[in-house]
Amino acid sequence: MTMQPFVRGVPPFAMLIAALFTGSAALAATSKAADPAPGFPSRPIRMIVPFAPQGPNDLLARMVGVKLSEAWGQQVVVDNRPGAGTVIGTELAVRAPADGHTLLMVSLSTAVNPVLQKKLSFNTAKDLTPLINLAFSPNLLVTHPAVPANNIAQLLALAKARPGAVIFASGGTGSTTHLAAELLALMGGVKMIHVPYKGANPATIDLLGGRVNWMFGTILPTLPHVKAGKLRALGVSSPKRTGTLPEVPAIAETLPGFEAVSFYGVAAPTGVPRPVMAKLNAEMARIINMPETREQLRQQGADAVGDSQAEFTAFFNVQMSKWAKVIREAAIQAE
| Span 180-200, pLDDT tens digits | 999 999 999 999 999 999 888
- For residue 263, the model assigns a pLDDT of 95
Question: Which of these three, 199, 227, 253, is where a domain ends?
Answer: 253
Angle CA 59–324–271, to nearest 5: 60
Phi/psi of residue 230, nearest 5 degrees: -85, -20
Task: Give mean pLDDT, residues 116-144.
Answer: 94
- For residue 335, the model assigns a pLDDT of 67
Q: How far apart are CA 277 and CA 300, in angstroms?
A: 29
Q: Is 205 exposed, middle or buried (0-12, 13-18, 19+ CB in 10 A)?
A: middle
- For residue 1, the model assigns a pLDDT of 38
CATH number of the structural domain spanning residue 166: 3.40.190.10
CA distances from 260 to 98, 255, 291 (A): 31, 12, 26
Closest Cα partner for 297 from 67, 107, 16? Answer: 16
| 136, containing H or E segment | strand 128-137
Span 218-241, pLDDT tens digits: 888 898 999 999 999 999 999 999
Pair 155, 161: CB distance under 8 Å: no
Whether residue 1 lies inside any domain: the answer is: no
Question: Which of these three, 253, 272, 297, is where a domain ends?
Answer: 253
128 and 168 assigned to the same domain: no
DSSP, res 250: B
Query: Does residue 9 register a pLDDT over 50?
Result: no
Query: Does residue 33 register a pLDDT over 70?
Result: no
pTM of the model as a whole: 0.83
239 and 302 assigned to the same domain: no
Residue 87's domain spans which residues?
14-137+261-329
Pair 255, 184: CB distance under 8 Å: yes
Question: Which of these three, 253, 284, 303, is where a domain ends?
Answer: 253
Q: How far apart are CA 189 and CA 193, in angstroms?
A: 14
Closest Cα partner for 47 from 80, 78, 90? Answer: 78
Total domains in the chain come to 2
- For residue 298, the model assigns a pLDDT of 81
133 and 168 assigned to the same domain: no
182 and 166 assigned to the same domain: yes
Span 249-266, pLDDT tens digits: 999 999 999 999 999 999
276 and 222 assigned to the same domain: no
143 and 115 assigned to the same domain: no
